[in-house]
């Protein structure tokens, strides 16, 4: 166990870290930002995760549709996500040239964010829901935690334009929309037909089709929020 005692961590950044069972005792935490998969978080003896989740649902009712098991709700969730992205892309195109490739605070640029969602679609929808064994889209962007990216079809040297990425995104969105039009609640409840052999995500086996679809939709929502946040900061520069 790593122990920090009487350390000044002002301005420290923990990225892609596992802080499970971390204990912060007697700390001073002001103007801090915590963003990630958080559950069972105690703050001064109060479990706050449920409060945070309830407030997020209040602010963003779309989250309730994303978590639904009903095909009708999931279709509406996908429609709203696409509409939100369209609004954001209109804003992006109105910004100064190059904004789509500009990073803020070490986060992915808008183009990189969209490329990551291309990868998410290939991994969690095509592979896990459709049982596809085809290579992933070359311009997709995965985090460094994903191993053997080249073997799965990803071109880590790719540098596509915004329009090139959006063309792929439109194809993927149409594919998912067609599937959602006919999928039933019974089909969603079945085990995900993940192909045998290596490939990302390795921990999808044992999940249902619905759980894999939830990942796709939730990633769309989460990363749209990140993109809106960063574009807002860019606009203020």
pLDDT band for position 135 (50/70/90)? Answer: very high
User: Mean of the per-residue pLDDT values for the chain?
Assistant: 94
- Residue range 150-173, pLDDT digits in tens: 999 999 999 999 999 999 999 999
* Domains annotated on the chain, with CATH: 68-236 (1.20.120.450)
- Residue range 203-214, pLDDT digits in tens: 999 999 999 999
DSSP string, the chain: -----S---TT----S---TT----S----S----SS--S-EETTEE-HHHHHHHHHHH-THHHHHT---HHHHHHHHHHHHHHHHHHHHHHHHSPTTGGG--STTPPPHHHHHHHHHHHIIIIIIITTS---SPPPTT----TTS--TGGGT--TT----HHHHHHHHHHHHHHHHHHHHH--HHHHHSBP-PPSSS-S-TT-TT-BHHHHHHHHHHHHHHHHHHHHHHHHHHHH-
Is the pLDDT at 237 greater than 90, yes or no?
no
* Cβ-contact 70, 185 below 8 angstroms: yes
Looking at residue 152, its pLDDT comes to: 96
CB contact burial 83-100 (16+ within 10 A = b; e otherwise): ebbeebbebbeeeeeebb
d(CA 144, CA 204): 19
Is the pLDDT at 1 greater than 80, yes or no?
no
Looking at residue 175, its pLDDT comes to: 98
- Residue range 32-88, pLDDT digits in tens: 888 887 889 998 999 999 999 999 999 999 999 999 999 999 999 999 999 999 999
Is the pLDDT at 30 greater than 80, yes or no?
yes
The angle formed by the CA atoms of residues 142, 155 and 149, to the nearest 5 degrees, is 50
Q: Which of 214, 225, 165 is nearest to 192 (CA)?
A: 214
Q: What CA dihedral angle connects 114, 116, 117 and 119, to 10 degrees?
A: 130
* Cβ-contact 214, 67 below 8 angstroms: yes
Half-sphere exposure of 172 (CA within 13 A, CB side): 28
The angle formed by the CA atoms of residues 212, 217 and 222, to the nearest 5 degrees, is 120
pTM, 2 dp: 0.90
């Amino acid at each position: 166990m790593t122990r920090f005692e009487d350390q000044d961590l002002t301005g420290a950044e923990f990225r892609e870290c596992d802080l499970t069972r971390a204990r912060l005792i007697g700390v001073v935490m002001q103007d801090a930002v915590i963003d990630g998969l958080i559950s069972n978080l105690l703050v001064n003896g109060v479990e706050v995760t449920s409060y945070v989740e309830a407030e997020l649902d209040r602010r963003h009712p779309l989250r309730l549709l994303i978590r639904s098991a009903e095909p009708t709700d999931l279709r509406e969730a996908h429609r709203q996500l696409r509409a939100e992205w369209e609004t954001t892309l209109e804003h992006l195109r109105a910004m100064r040239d190059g904004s789509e490739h500009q990073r803020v605070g070490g986060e992915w640029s808008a183009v990189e964010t969209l490329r990551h969602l291309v990868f998410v679609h290939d991994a969690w929808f095509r592979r896990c829901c459709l049982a596809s064994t085809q290579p992933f889209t070359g311009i997709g962007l995965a985090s460094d935690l994903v191993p053997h990216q080249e073997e799965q079809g990803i071109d880590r040297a790719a540098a596509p334009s915004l329009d090139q990425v959006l063309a792929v995104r439109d194809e993927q969105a149409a594919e998912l929309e067609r599937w959602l039009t006919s999928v039933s609640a019974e089909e969603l409840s079945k085990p995900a037909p993940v192909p045998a052999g290596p490939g990302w995500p390795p921990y999808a086996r044992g999940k249902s089709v619905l759980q894999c679809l939830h990942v796709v939709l939730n990633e769309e929502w989460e990363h749209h929020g990140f993109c809106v946040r960063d574009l807002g900061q860019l606009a203020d520069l």
